[in-house]
Amino acid sequence: MNLIDTSKRTVGVNFTPAGEASVILWAPLLKNVAINVVGKEKLPLQQQEYGYWELTTNQIQPGDRYKFVLDGENEFPDPASLAQPEGVHGNSEAIDITNFTWTDAQWNNIPLADYILYELHTGTFTPDGTFASLAEKLDYLKDLGVNAIEIMPVAQFPGSRNWGYDGVFPYAVQHSYGGARGLQQLVNICHQKGIAVVLDVVYNHMGPEGNYLGTYGHYFTDKYNTPWGNAINFDDAWCDGVREFFVQNVLMWFRDFHVDALRLDAVHAIKDFSAVHILREIKLHVNQLTKETGRTHHLIVELDLNDPKFINPLEEQGFGMDAQWIDEFHHALRVSATGEQTGYYSDFTGISHLAKTYQDAYVYDGQYSPHRFKKFGLKAENNPGQQFIVFSQNHDQVGNRMLGERTSQLVSFEMQKLMAGAVLVSPYVPMLFMGEEYGESNPFLYFVSHTDTDLVEAVRKGRKAEFAAFHALGEAPDPQSEDTYNRSKLQWNLIPEGQHQVLFRYYQALISLRKTHPALRQLNRQQLDVVSNEATNTLLLHRWHENQHVLCLMNFSNTTQTITLPTYAESWQKLFDSADLQWSGPIGSPNTITSGISISLQPESLVIYSTTQPTIS
Q: Mapped to the 3 state alphabet, what secondary structure does 437-472 carry? A: HHCCCCCCCCCCCCCCHHHHHHHHHHHHHHCHHHHH
576 sits in the region (left: phi over 0; alpha: psi -120 to 50; else beta) called beta
Please give the Cα distance from 307 to 317 (Å, whole number).
13
For domain 115-333+387-456+493-511, which architecture applies? Alpha-Beta Barrel (3.20)
- The H or E element containing residue 413 is helix 413-424
Q: Does 360 qualify as catalytic in the annotation?
A: no
pLDDT at 462: 83
HSE toward the beta carbon, residue 336, CA cutoff 13 A: 33
Residue 84 identity (one-letter amino acid): Q
pLDDT at 134: 98
Please give the Cα distance from 13 to 141 (Å, whole number).
36
- Mean pLDDT value of segment 428-444: 98
Q: Does 265 qualify as catalytic in the annotation?
A: yes
For residue 475, give the nearest of 487, 483, 463, 485 by alpha carbon: 463
pLDDT at 1: 60
Catalytic residue among 64, 93, 265, 272: 265
534 pLDDT tier (thresholds 50, 70, 90)? very high
Strands 605-611 and 571-577, how do they pair? antiparallel
Please give the Cα distance from 580 to 598 (Å, whole number).
19
**Long-range contacts, stretch 124-127, CB < 8 angstroms, 24+ apart:** 124/434, 124/444, 124/485, 124/488, 124/489, 124/490, 125/434, 125/489, 125/490, 126/489, 126/490, 126/492, 127/489, 127/492
The residues of the chain that CATH labels 2.60.40.10 are 12-93
Q: How many CB atoms lie within 10 A of CB 50?
A: 10
CATH 2.60.120.10, applies to 12-93: no
Residue 390 identity (one-letter amino acid): V
472 pLDDT tier (thresholds 50, 70, 90)? low
pLDDT tens-digit series, residues 362-413: 999 999 999 999 999 999 999 999 999 999 999 999 998 999 999 999 999 9
Catalytic residue among 302, 307, 322, 437: 302
Please give the Cα distance from 483 to 491 (Å, whole number).
15
**Residue 468 pLDDT > 90:** no
470 pLDDT tier (thresholds 50, 70, 90)? low
Q: Is 263 annotated as a binding residue?
A: yes
- Mean pLDDT value of segment 142-158: 98
The three-class DSSP label of residue 523 is coil
pLDDT tens-digit series, residues 249-283: 999 999 999 999 999 999 999 999 999 999 999 99
pLDDT tens-digit series, residues 294-325: 999 999 999 999 999 999 999 999 999 999 99
For residue 520, give the nearest of 504, 501, 493, 543 by alpha carbon: 543
Q: Is 21 annotated as a binding residue?
A: no
The residues of the chain that CATH labels 3.20.20.80 are 115-333+387-456+493-511
Please give the Cα distance from 285 to 276 (Å, whole number).
12
Q: Which residues in 292-301 are b (16+ Cβ under 10 Å) and which e? A: eeeebbbbbb
The residues of the chain that CATH labels 2.60.40.1180 are 526-611
Q: Is 264 annotated as a binding residue?
A: yes
DSSP 385: G
DSSP 2: P
Please give the Cα distance from 287 to 267 (Å, whole number).
20
- CA 167 to chain CA centroid, nearest Å: 15
Q: Is 23 annotated as a binding residue?
A: no
Inter-residue contact 13 to 40 (CB < 8 Å)? no
469 pLDDT tier (thresholds 50, 70, 90)? low
Q: Is 265 annotated as a binding residue?
A: yes
Residue 8 identity (one-letter amino acid): K
Please give the Cα distance from 208 to 162 (Å, whole number).
13
Starting at the edge strand found earlier in the chain, the sheet holding 46-47 runs 12-15, 21-26, 52-57, 46-47
pLDDT tens-digit series, residues 81-93: 999 999 999 999 9
**Long-range contacts, stretch 476-480, CB < 8 angstroms, 24+ apart:** 476/402, 476/403, 477/403, 477/404, 477/445, 477/446, 479/445, 479/446, 479/447, 479/448, 480/447, 480/448, 480/449, 480/450, 480/456
Inter-residue contact 388 to 326 (CB < 8 Å)? yes
pLDDT tens-digit series, residues 183-192: 999 999 999 9
pLDDT at 613: 59
CATH superfamily of 526-611: Golgi alpha-mannosidase II (2.60.40.1180)
**Residue 497 pLDDT > 50:** yes
213 pLDDT tier (thresholds 50, 70, 90)? very high
**Residue 614 pLDDT > 70:** no
pLDDT tens-digit series, residues 560-592: 999 988 877 778 999 999 999 999 999 999 999
Q: Is 399 annotated as a binding residue?
A: yes
